[in-house]
Structure 1
Amino acid sequence: MEAEEEERPMERGFVVWLTGLPASGKTTIARELERELRDRGLRVEVMDGDEVRQGLSRDLGFSKEDREKHAMRVAYVSKLLARNGVAVIVALISPYRSFREAIRRDIKDFIEVYVKCPVEECARRDPKGLYARALAGEIPDFTGVNDPYEEPENPELVLDTLAESTRESVDKLLSWLSKKGYLDGATR
């Protein structure tokens, strides 16, 4: 290391866990938050449920047991990243409260964010047509249609994507992170 270079102190890693119904806006918020945090000089990793499932959990289906395994795998990787100073943004339906509570107990800086949106609006927005297929009986165990979504009881933050724009939701989340000290040391 050159003498004039300063060693940068370890950043405080954390996990923002965006949970909500399919098509509620989790991935959209995750990607915008990622951009904002990178612009502030933070190291960031997004773990999108659909993308991670293709690599880390391609052997799993959508039964309750498989969803739990998937969530626990995502949580494990998130914990490792956060422990090493990475801001981790998880966009994962994670429909069962017990899974999220177990993850909260395991990850020190776990921030549960409920991306709230009525199922009717999610079905209207649905870019993949999955709600229509689930309603037609083509997709079993589809969260919000024929499989439950258990709303968080005490999330750190609720983002109402029916009432708020993506920008408003991300600004609300950034403000919360800043107030709680997670953005201390960020460049902006």
Structure 2
Amino acid sequence: MAWAVWFTGLPGCGKTTIARRTKEHLSRMGVEARILELDEIRRVVTPNPRYTDEERDIVYASLAYMAKLLCDAGVNVIIDATANRRRYRDLARKLVERFAEVYIKAPLELCIEREASRKAEFAPKEIYRKAASGARVPGVGVEYEEPMSPEMVVDTTTMDPDSAAEFVSRRILEIFAR
């Protein structure tokens, strides 16, 4: 039976890097998964995003439902998305029978520094700089609600991306072996 694992955290915390390395690590272990990267999906669901609460509700509900459909079809899913409200992640937990949450933790200052130099393919550029002009950025212009009891916590101030991916991969196999 397939599972879904949601990587959440502030923009720039390392979600995409760790999610991709986790996928690679799992693949070397013979476990395949599909990454659903919100920044890529948002371009289809809302091609001209305004990042309003209503728009976020639609985008995150669509993402959770995509994960459910893939899991129902037997595809393991790694969700790479900030999901600043717990209710977005809770919806996925409700829809997907085998679900876990990974909180990628980093202080805002480090996220700002990383985001300024990242080369992400789909993520919007310079979001924290835009926040100074009133852009609605989780952790700055919009609240980020940390997970209450995630199955995994990765502190990127003490763990590098490869170690984090190895840790998360092992935990995924432990959690879903039951």
TM-score computed with the length of structure 2 as normaliser: 0.88
Is residue 144 of structure 2 the alignment partner of residue 155 of structure 1? no
User: Per the alignment, do residues 108 and 57 of structure 1 end up closer, same or farther by CA in structure 2, a change over 3 Å counting?
Assistant: farther
CA contact (8 A) 1:43 1:85 kept: no
Match of 2:121 in 1: none
Q: Percent identity?
A: 32
**Which contiguous aligned blocks of 4+ residues in structure 1 show a shift greater than 3 angstroms?**
none
Tell me the alpha carbon deviations over residues 136-164 of structure 1, each in whole angstroms, 9 at most, x when there is no partner. Answer: x1x52111111110001111111111211
Match of 2:122 in 1: none
CA contact (8 A) 2:3 2:176 kept: no
Match of 2:174 in 1: 179
Q: CA deviation at 1:98?
A: 1.9
Amino acid at match of 1:69: I
Q: Distance between the aligned counterparts of 1:108 and 1:59, measured in 2?
A: 33
Q: CA deviation at 1:57?
A: 3.6
Match of 2:128 in 1: 131
What is the root-mean-square deviation in Å for CA atoms of aligned residues?
1.7
User: Which consecutive unaligned segments of at least 5 residues does structure 2 have?
Assistant: 119-124
TM-score computed with the length of structure 1 as normaliser: 0.84
Q: Distance between the aligned counterparts of 1:107 and 1:181, measured in 2?
A: 13
SS at match of 2:77: strand
Is residue 50 of structure 2 the alignment partner of residue 55 of structure 1? no
User: Per the alignment, do residues 181 and 103 of structure 1 end up closer, same or farther by CA in structure 2, a change over 3 Å counting?
Assistant: closer
The equivalent position to 2:105 in structure 1, one of 108, 111, 116, is 116
Amino acid at match of 2:128: Y
Q: Distance between the aligned counterparts of 1:165 and 1:105, measured in 2?
A: 31
The equivalent position to 1:33 in structure 2, one of 11, 22, 25, is 22
User: Per the alignment, do residues 59 and 14 of structure 1 end up closer, same or farther by CA in structure 2, a change over 3 Å counting?
Assistant: farther
Amino acid at match of 1:178: L
Is residue 38 of structure 2 the alignment partner of residue 43 of structure 1? no
Match of 1:143 in 2: 138
SS at match of 2:102: strand
Range with greater deviation from structure 2 (113-122 or 171-180): 171-180
User: Per the alignment, do residues 61 and 110 of structure 1 end up closer, same or farther by CA in structure 2, a change over 3 Å counting?
Assistant: farther
Q: CA deviation at 1:59?
A: 5.8
Structure whose alpha-carbon radius of gyration is higher? 1
Is residue 80 of structure 2 the alignment partner of residue 83 of structure 1? no
Is residue 41 of structure 2 the alignment partner of residue 66 of structure 1? no
SS at match of 1:180: helix
